[in-house]
Chains A and B, each alone.
Chain A
């Protein structure tokens, strides 16, 4: 089994870190193979940012994603730029406060894309009181919807990655995303 995830947003949202945590959860704790790579512009903040993770039971040679199974868009620009690469029947997760679906509804219908909306930025700001953990809320959402990594491994990877002293807040953020109801 091989799964490809692409997370797109803008610099400063923690897009790259969320890919790192998912990749780490798969490689070190779920004992699968994974590769995380990224691309970003020369700007420190505000430019387009993209993080990609490949998770596989087999060895991964080519490290770049061609047609993701899962696209996570936390900016409108990322949604417009990357949605057409999604596999038929693929999963699209968006923060509807930052990316608007109306423009791509035709593509969604035609390719039978499964769309999930999660207001991760709002949840991070209002429930956790910390806007910068929106990316961790999103990891909770991704874990819930895709089952690509296990909950245990996700939490271990978060604790292993985030700065000391912030573990509790980050786990709370993960849980807030994981506990959302998508049915």
Chain B
């Protein structure tokens, strides 16, 4: 039976993880993500899973990469300062095609910033934080229900494409409580195991969607896992072609499967002169702003970005309006992506709020009236 609860976003995230089949969590507690670790420390052992509190975030992500290779769906949760420390191994997870889920409940930043306040300063770090060419998958929930749903989705995408998935939440979504429905059955992606004999198996030879079946340690396959450029057998290679083929294949896993991964929600955009774009908790502000503005007869709509990376280029390029306002809790990050995609087809404006306050719908509406 569907369960109805009144819980925090962070609690919904940990329930989503269990639902998705997560059986390993390693992390170092940090506000405002701590409740995720707290809840999983209780719930994981009950389903036969393991929870480890690590000495820091570097080891936390190392542990979940190892656990993933031992066959368990694995996750860590952190906030900006911990996310910074995880960047090196995020690159390793991309290169070694290790499915993992990293939850970043963002807070005021840079540095230790505002531990108990909200922020969205890590959007570009999620995109470019590790070195080299890679195409991450990142999704942003804007409600408690979505924090549950997107955690399940995050695990499914990560397992399907063997790409690390980042849940870019923020303090408001993590800490607020709302009614949430926990379905009794959820669609779960089961990791694909190799079918060949171990002697014939090429662990990094891709199937049609660019991904290869993943053996677990102990299954009897010989697998060499390295962050170095490698061929299909997994051993280091210095061939320019091997490098080019590998990195292109890795990035294409995300890029060529855009349609399956990307998700946005649009409302009232068909006749709109003005479109508001946001993601995460400020989505709540723009929905209310559109409601207020429509009551005044202003033709305005909104586009809510669910999948930050890969960026919903096609969906945003299709917008047919004069002005776009990007509302985000930083001094301008996603707004530049919107500009890149929209080109000169609309005027793109930023409403960037920092300090931990959620932009008020009336303030957003005033700014729109000032500028347009």
Residues of A within 8 A of B291 (CB): 61
Separation of A62 and B115 alpha carbons in the complex (Å): 22
Q: Decide: A27 and B6 in contact? CB cutoff 8 A.
A: yes
Q: Decide: A33 and B179 in contact? CB cutoff 8 A.
A: yes
**Cβ distance B175 to chain A, nearest Cβ, rounded Å:** 6
Separation of A132 and B172 alpha carbons in the complex (Å): 27
Separation of A38 and B172 alpha carbons in the complex (Å): 9
Secondary structure of the A contact surface, majority rule: mixed
Q: How many A-B Cβ pairs are below 8 Å?
A: 57
**Cβ distance A92 to chain B, nearest Cβ, rounded Å:** 23
Q: Decide: B31 and A35 in contact? CB cutoff 8 A.
A: no
Interface string of B343-372 (1 = CB under 8 A from A): 000000000000000101100000000000
Interchain CB contact (< 8 A) of B179 among A20, A34, A61, A62: A34
Q: Decide: A63 and B6 in contact? CB cutoff 8 A.
A: no
Q: Decide: B172 and A63 in contact? CB cutoff 8 A.
A: yes
Instruction: Tell me whether B176 is interfacial, beta carbon within 8 Å.
Output: yes
Instruction: Tell me whether B116 is interfacial, beta carbon within 8 Å.
Output: yes
Comparing B13-21, B64-72, B281-289, the segment that makes contact with chain A is B281-289
Closest-by-CB residue of A relative to B31 is A42
- Count how many chain A residues have C-beta atoms less than 8 Å from C-beta atoms of the other chain: 20
Instruction: Tell me whether B177 is interfacial, beta carbon within 8 Å.
Output: yes
Query: Which B285-308 residues have C-beta < 8 A from chain A?
Result: 285, 287-288, 291
Interchain CB contact (< 8 A) of A63 among B116, B117, B179, B284: B284
Closest-by-CB residue of A relative to B179 is A27
Residues of A within 8 A of B5 (CB): 28
Interchain CB contact (< 8 A) of B360 among A28, A39, A66: A66
Q: Decide: A61 and B284 in contact? CB cutoff 8 A.
A: yes
Residues of A within 8 A of B115 (CB): 42
Separation of A37 and B8 alpha carbons in the complex (Å): 9
Q: Decide: B172 and A61 in contact? CB cutoff 8 A.
A: no
Instruction: Tell me whether A24 is interfacial, beta carbon within 8 Å.
Output: yes
Q: Decide: A23 and B177 in contact? CB cutoff 8 A.
A: yes
Interface string of B176-205 (1 = CB under 8 A from A): 111100000000000000000000000000
**7 pairs from A and B in contact (CB 8 Å cutoff):** A27-B6, A34-B6, A35-B178, A36-B176, A63-B172, A63-B176, A63-B284
